Structure 1
């Protein structure tokens, strides 16, 4: 009898440890705190000028987008059905930046932006969607995107889908938390715990993840991905 109890206890312990390992392996950091392993840079100015600086650096264990020259830092791997947990801040002047999900064809828009859906981080606009040769739908589309005849996903079209809140961001200089959940053809975004946008009928379900250099310095201290 004692042997059966011991075997059961051991089996339970092994199962529990395995379950914990699987749970932990589902969540991992996209950034190792030391270098840009797992990412590649796509900055048009660096193609033209061999002396152009890389706008993406490591500083004090953080990943930093210096803002210029403009371009993108893109994951080598592609992802599908995940939750991305990001801590970011503008340490100086307010400005523009974003996280691009389901990124694919490079420089598909304005010879700069990869085909994707952008989740905006621009100060006072965090959580807006921008359609970049991909599309997303939300409720009350005309209210949040403008007249239907102006909608589009390429140059000159109305590509912005406004978020749901105006007061979810912390004061300039403080850290913000953004959570982006991509599941099949849907996307949800939270900023500091508030649900700020929710879209459906995405025209893409997987792809790379990209960070922008778009004119303003932004610090990232957390970039964790959880597979769903």
Structure 2
């Protein structure tokens, strides 16, 4: 029997390499130099385009200045990924968030894009906020309130409390937030502690957005890694 020629293995080898490359592939969200790959949506600038920026790059960090309020939105659409963010409030603590599965802009209160927000507000990091998208968690009534009040639009109970208190570091210190999105699941860790685990999300892909919502926040790390399954 004649030995198989080397080229017979090439298609199989190529397929293997594609699968291997997809797992653990890092996609740069922020290059440390400028805001390439992002665009800002700041409603106040519709009437006053001369307002200062809401987002900028400073000392190699992405900075949300907090005001004017709005969102920095990725140009690209992503699915099945893990975001690792290292952030801190360098001054007074306050509000901010990372939005996943973002799509239609200004869908809520003329400001927020349709999405699921992972809250970063001090002492509330890891809460979910439903923004014209929805997600479920265990113990929904305890964590979201009476079912009759649930909803995903203005005036409804859109907040889902996180699982733990005390996962954040003291004001001014750096925190690590990991957000894992796979199919209809969204899971969140803060400084290594699992703080939220949602399922049956009404979206499984979309853009990623960072908020300017009143407080200055520095991001020294913001990376995305493609995943092929949930972490153990």
5 Å matches for 1:89-100? 89-100=88-99
Aligned residue number for residue 126 of structure 1 = 125
Pairwise CA distance, 1:67: 0.1
Counterpart-to-counterpart distance in 2, 1:180 and 1:76? 19
Determine the structure 2 residue equivalent to 1:213.
212
> For residues 31-67 of structure 1, what are the alpha-carbon distances to aligned partners after superposition, in whole Å with 9 as ceiling and x for unaligned?
0111100000000011110211111000000000000
User: Are the aligned partners of 2:23 and 2:226 in contact in 1 as well (CA < 8 Å)?
Assistant: no
* CA distance 1:222–1:109, change in 2 (3 Å): same
Give the aligned partner of residue 159 of structure 1: 158
Cα shift readout 1:120-149 (whole Å, capped 9, x = no counterpart) = 000000000000000000000000000000
Which deviations, in whole Å up to 9, do the C-alpha atoms of 1:59-118 show, x marking residues without a partner? Answer: 000000000000000000000000000000000001000000000000000000000000
Counterparts in 2 of 1:24 and 1:131: CA distance versus 1, 3 Å? closer
Give 3-state SS (helix, strand or coil) of 1:137's partner: coil
- The answer to whether the Cα contact below 8 Å between 1:46 and 1:54 also exists between their aligned partners in 2 is no
Match of 2:28 in 1: 29
Query: What is residue 10 of structure 2 aligned with on the other side?
Result: none
Consecutive unaligned residues of structure 2, counting only runs of 5 or more, are: 1-5, 7-12, 228-232
Deviation per CA, 1:144-168, whole angstroms, max 9, x where unpaired? 0000000000000000000001110
CA distance in 1, matches of 2:205, 2:179: 13
Q: How does 1:129-148 map to 2 (within 5 A)?
A: 129-148=128-147
CA contact (8 A) 1:98 1:211 kept: yes
**In the alignment, which residue of structure 1 is the partner of 2:48?**
49
Give the secondary structure class of the aligned counterpart of 1:32: coil
Per the alignment, in what secondary structure is the counterpart of residue 142 of structure 2?
A: helix
Task: Return the TM-score normalized by structure 1.
Answer: 0.90
Report the counterpart of residue 230 of structure 2 in structure 1.
none
Normalised TM-score (structure 2): 0.89
Shift of 1:24: 8.6
Correspondence for 1:150: 149
Q: Map 1:56-75 to 2 at 5 A.
A: 56-75=55-74
C-alpha root-mean-square deviation of aligned residues, in Å? Answer: 1.9
Alignment partner, residue 10 of structure 1: none
What residue ranges of structure 1 are gaps of 5+ in the alignment?
Answer: 1-6, 8-13
**Higher mean C-alpha displacement, 204-213 vs 23-32:** 23-32
Give the distance between the partners of 1:27 and 1:71, measured in 2 at CA: 27
C-alpha distance in 1 between matches for 2:208 and 2:29 = 10
Aligned to 1:177: 176
